Structure 1
Amino acid sequence: MALDGQPHGTTGAGAHRRPPAWLSEAVIYQIYPAAFADSNGDGIGDLRGVREHLDHLAWLGVDTLWLSPCFASPFGDGGYDISDYLTIAPRYGSNEDADALIEAARARGMRIMFDLVPGHTSHEHPWFLESIRNPDDDRYIWSDRVGAPVRGWIPNHAGRGGYYLANFYAIQPALNFGYARPDPAEPWRQPVDAPGPRANRAALREVMAYWFDRGVSGFRVDMAASLVKDDPGSVETGRLWAEMRDWIDREYPGRILLSEWGDPKTSVPAGFHADFFLHFTGTALRSLWDNGTGSQGSWPAIGPCYFDPDGGGSMGTFLDAWREADKAIDGAGHIALPTANHDFSRLTCGPRTRDMVAPAFAFLLTWPTLPVIYYGDEIGMRYVPGLPDKEGSQLDAEARQGSRTPMQWDASAGAGFSTAGAERYYLPVDPAPDRPDVATERADEGSLLHHVHRLIALRKQTPALRSGGTVRVLHRDYPFVYLRGESHLVVVNGRREPAGAPWPASGPAPRVLAAHGVELTASGIQAAGFSYAVYELAPGAQVSAYEDADAATAD
């Protein structure tokens, strides 16, 4: 387990904890297993398929692979309805296949993270099958009548009768972690230290320990804020995760928890090592890259974003949210920034084509957040509208299936995803005749894939560009210009039209580390449409903060 190392700082109540050093250097890559690579010809991706492509991922430079749920499930919600936390779903392989993947990744200096769903199980989980029969079982939340919220209560037609509380779909009964506030009108509300909630906390540790012992380096925690019910300010939920963090730091140092909370300023101080800016919490993420006005994305667009072809966006919303979260976190963890995910539209969506997204990757890989690349975004796979529902992907008006199409490995009819007939594929391959693929882009030095490859390599070679560290915003319009570590200048123009800014440094000319459409002239910075550049400043160069001198952060 030497790969994970020891965490910085101390543990225990009130300690100022810091994440493991490896996380600050990481570039995370999210894989949706069913759509990544099919090794056995059944039309569904699997763990062996992931293992067969590790060399490519190592070449790309990503070093931490996060797999969306791959545990046993009836797949009513794409695997987020788990029926056995300790067994790999047969369609993805076996526990031994997971072991082989973890070991093969480790041999390449890469880590594996699994997805953990702690707030609910499948209605087919043995725990729930026992609970629907046994009126003394309180692992789930039961009532003799419909409570609040009304939508979540599902009638139980088995021996116990009554109603159970579900998270999201009816097939996802909520595990009982207690209520933060009692209510005499709702006697089913148990305190967080009741026997049922205590049993579930113990089970949560057992599940994590099982996979930690098999070599998993961490978990992305699904809907991490959903555990304790009626919890104003998430106080009790935060205490629960602080308890888990103390246990991990004590028993499994170097392992991490990445939360799907969407509020880093709350979740990281509570105990998580990192948390996302997400599409459903605030507008920080979508102010950077959204669906595009009028496009067919998974969520309704909120308006212009910074990386928008027409250039009507602003960095202000993102910067305000990032500064607030960064101040609250105070070095105890990271804000994770994803290109997309299994629920939200890809970078290439609507009016934004794959030829336009290189500057978004330049920002992602040089800003002091934790970068998370969704599979296929590195080649410019697009969000595909108009697909049928698959395993609960159509959630009300949210068409999530458009971001879950098969990975495009080559230019063959099946995109190199599977040898099965197309009718058996998990979802249809993107039918666009000009769809991108890995093989074609590997052969083209000017492709998006090579841009991403070079930017990841630059990040790994340059400590000042990694997560944490310092940043100073110099120009917040088009182009966006900022200084990392007082030593590296980054220029990003996310729109179609050229843009200019004053050159803020005096002294010798900087060294170009990466340049795509940006020039330094006597009159200042000239950035072509959809351009970026990274420079190393010469020793002794002086940089003036000509626009936003208050935008600095300390490591």
Structure 2
Amino acid sequence: MSLEQTVTHAVATAPWWTSAVVYQVYPRSFADSNGDGVGDLNGITARLDHLQRLGVDVIWLSPVYASPHADNGYDISDYQAVDPVFGTLDDLDRLLAETHARGMKLVMDLVVNHTSDEHPWFVESRSSRDSPKRDWYWWRPPRDGFEAGQPGAEPTNWESFFSGPSWTLDEATGEYYLHLFDRKQPDLNWENPEVRQAVYEMMRWWLDRGVDGFRMDVINLISKDPDLPDGATTGTGGLGNGFPHYGTGPRIHEFMQEMHREVFEDRPGDLLTVGEMPGVTWEDARLFTDPTRRELDMVFQFEHVSLDHGPGGKFDPKPLDLRDLKASLGRWQTALGEVGWNSLYWNNHDQPRVVSRFGDDGKYWRESATALATVLHLHRGTPFVYQGEELGMTNVPFAGVGDLRDVESLNHFRQSVAAGGDPESVLRGLRAMGRDNARTPVQWDSTRNAGFTTGEPWIVVNPNHTWLNAQAQYDDPLSVFNHYRRLIELRHTFPVVAHGDFRMLLADDPYIYAFERELDDTRLLVVANLSGTTPTAVLDGEWAATDLVLSNVESVSLVNGRIAMEPWSAHVFVR
């Protein structure tokens, strides 16, 4: 049987990013070139060969802009300057040139729902109620009947994503400003056209500099209901859920279409735009990513990474039911199968490590890391690999709250303990689901500090780096790294991976994740056992052992359409 593919007109004219793989770099934790304990741009440049060896097409660079780092760089004080902790603008230009020289693209993080409170725009805005930039942010007087500073005087009852009220009083002017995240991250007022034009001008500046697009942080939160109504009370200190009034708000599609016209319309077609959108539905995503509407290429949705949130929220995790995961991912595959496009991810800087979360980071560490990768990468959509994921990096056994650095985790710990929570129980939830799990240094080798820095790292290094590291995996054909490399190669080799139709199999099986992809006369089958049990997968009798193109175990027994699945085994067949 020949594995040569028939390239249809639809495939030949598909956007380049449909067959691409994106790699997210979190600069603070990737590689430190100067020994100050914090990763930097020159450290990334020095490690580009690792990414080229892996085979990825795009680097997504988390923020390196000037920042006070209240939220590790997602609080920006100057959109057109590099923070000295990461290097200089010349260093960024060099990284960009070296990335392009290796045939890869570089996408910047765009954080424009909010700025830092130290950004000149906000400094001017808070200087006076009469400031010409006052309306660049959301300012409101105290609630009727309350004095400024009184409990309950906040203009709305909205709770911040980072705990506590989403309003902070500015003593000098006697008004409150809105911040959906940290108090040092005031929200921009996108109702003001001057704000929008300032953002578009900044975006054009970066594109003129040579960057290849943007990943847009919480971009569906930029349109708020101007009336700012209260949300339903959540029971936490009288605070309420404001999300229905700012999540995918009333003018969001108008704003995204305007951004496309102002920034991307006359640019080459090789740029990439990705919108991170908490709470987005598949119905919304079809609109955002429908190419005829000219909004975004793809969105990040959060449905599948919320399935293990327990009754107490994300820090009260419950075991994942595989059938729920299949229902969720399958629904998105179907919904965006003909209109729009999916992004595919397990990990990013906001999620715990998938091998610890949905896999088995003990006995079946390698098998579960590669099985989960196989399932994800062979769906229809663009896969995103988060740094260290290609090595199977795990969650971290943080000794105590003193090891944590993330503002969300620290606020949650402080608030929960103050409310009477048991500190060790709260810490247990943070160890499982906290964002710091994704932010410990990349494990390059077995030496001190995992080869990340010669200095004192800004956050603890996972002690398992002595055996779990890149250097130990490069020449091991069964390593997690080499499995990721082969998955990426499959996407580049077989158009069916990027463009084939999707059909879920065995939807009600609690252990086996199986699906087919089909394009013209080519079919692809993925069968994975996402458990430590040994079930038998019953397949279409047409499949034969000779169709096997990738497996994460050394031997596969396929007899009369039946596979005896080893724990956390994953197999890919093409014919």
- TM above 0.5, one fold? yes
Question: How far apart, CA to CA, are the structure 1 residues paired with 2:87 and 2:407?
Answer: 22
Residue among 227, 232, 241 paired with 2:256: 241
Query: Which residue is equivalent to 2:305?
Result: 285
Query: Which residue is equivalent to 2:115?
Result: 121
Instruction: Kindly state the Cα deviation for residue 509 of structure 1 after the two structures are TM-superposed.
Output: 6.2
> Quick check: 1:318 aligned with 2:328?
yes
Q: Percent identity?
A: 33
Query: Which residue is equivalent to 2:443?
Result: 408
Instruction: Kindly state the Cα deviation for residue 507 of structure 1 after the two structures are TM-superposed.
Output: 7.8
> Quick check: 1:71 aligned with 2:65?
yes
Residue among 560, 567, 572 paired with 1:522: 560
8 Å CA contact retained: 1:286, 1:302: no
Secondary structure of 2:437 counterpart: helix
Secondary structure of 2:251 counterpart: helix
Query: Which residue is equivalent to 1:336?
Result: 343
Classify 1:121/1:524 alpha carbon distance in 2 versus 1 (closer, same or farther; 3 Å).
Answer: same
Instruction: Kindly state the Cα deviation for residue 508 of structure 1 after the two structures are TM-superposed.
Output: 7.0
TM-score of the superposed pair, with normalisation by structure 1: 0.81
Residue among 373, 377, 380 paired with 1:368: 380
User: Match of 2:206, as an amino acid?
Assistant: W
Instruction: Kindly state the Cα deviation for residue 229 of structure 1 after the two structures are TM-superposed.
Output: 1.1
Residue among 401, 404, 429 paired with 2:461: 429
> Quick check: 1:462 aligned with 2:494?
yes
Show CA shifts across 1:75-123 (max 9, x none): 0111111000011111111111111111111111111111111111111
Query: Which residue is equivalent to 2:157?
Result: 149
Secondary structure of 1:91 counterpart: coil
Classify 1:436/1:505 alpha carbon distance in 2 versus 1 (closer, same or farther; 3 Å).
Answer: same
User: Match of 1:331, as an amino acid?
Assistant: V
Residue among 336, 352, 365 paired with 2:360: 352
8 Å CA contact retained: 1:44, 1:425: yes
8 Å CA contact retained: 1:406, 1:427: yes
Question: How far apart, CA to CA, are the structure 1 residues paired with 2:79 and 2:453?
Answer: 27
> Quick check: 1:495 aligned with 2:531?
yes
Secondary structure of 1:340 counterpart: coil
Secondary structure of 1:167 counterpart: coil
Q: Which shifted more, 99-108 or 388-397?
A: 388-397
Query: Which residue is equivalent to 1:474?
Result: 505
Query: Which residue is equivalent to 1:309?
Result: none
TM-score of the superposed pair, with normalisation by structure 2: 0.78
Unmatched runs of 5 consecutive residues or more in structure 2: 1-8, 143-153, 159-164, 226-244, 289-294, 414-429
**Structure with the bigger percentage of helix:** 2
Question: How far apart, CA to CA, are the structure 1 residues paired with 2:82 and 2:71?
Answer: 16
Show CA shifts across 1:239-278 (max 9, x none): 1012212334412233222111042531452322111232
User: Match of 2:503, as an amino acid?
Assistant: R
Show CA shifts across 1:176-200 (max 9, x none): 113xxxxxxxxxxxxxxxxxx1011
> Quick check: 1:275 aligned with 2:299?
yes
Query: Which residue is equivalent to 1:206?
Result: 201
Residue among 88, 96, 102 paired with 1:102: 96
Query: Which residue is equivalent to 1:553?
Result: none
Secondary structure of 1:358 counterpart: helix
User: Match of 1:215, as an amino acid?
Assistant: G
User: Match of 2:378, as an amino acid?
Assistant: T
Classify 1:429/1:475 alpha carbon distance in 2 versus 1 (closer, same or farther; 3 Å).
Answer: same
Question: How far apart, CA to CA, are the structure 2 residues paired with 1:531 and 1:522?
Answer: 19
8 Å CA contact retained: 1:375, 1:407: yes
Show CA shifts across 1:37-71 (max 9, x none): 00111110001111111111111111111111110
Question: How far apart, CA to CA, are the structure 2 residues paired with 1:525 and 1:507?
Answer: 11
User: Match of 2:449, as an amino acid?
Assistant: G
Show CA shifts across 1:260-304 (max 9, x none): 1042531452322111232xxx3x2355xx59x99xx97432432
Instruction: Kindly state the Cα deviation for residue 384 of structure 1 after the two structures are TM-superposed.
Output: 1.1
Query: Which residue is equivalent to 2:242?
Result: none
Question: How far apart, CA to CA, are the structure 2 residues paired with 1:235 and 1:464?
Answer: 38
Classify 1:523/1:484 alpha carbon distance in 2 versus 1 (closer, same or farther; 3 Å).
Answer: closer
Query: Which residue is equivalent to 1:183?
Result: none
Question: How far apart, CA to CA, are the structure 2 residues paired with 1:345 and 1:133?
Answer: 40
8 Å CA contact retained: 1:268, 1:274: no
Instruction: Kindly state the Cα deviation for residue 214 of structure 1 after the two structures are TM-superposed.
Output: 1.2
Show CA shifts across 1:197-253 (max 9, x none): 101110111121111111111111111111111257633112101221233441223
Classify 1:520/1:315 alpha carbon distance in 2 versus 1 (closer, same or farther; 3 Å).
Answer: farther
Question: How far apart, CA to CA, are the structure 2 residues paired with 1:19 and 1:228?
Answer: 34
Question: How far apart, CA to CA, are the structure 2 residues paired with 1:148 and 1:20?
Answer: 46
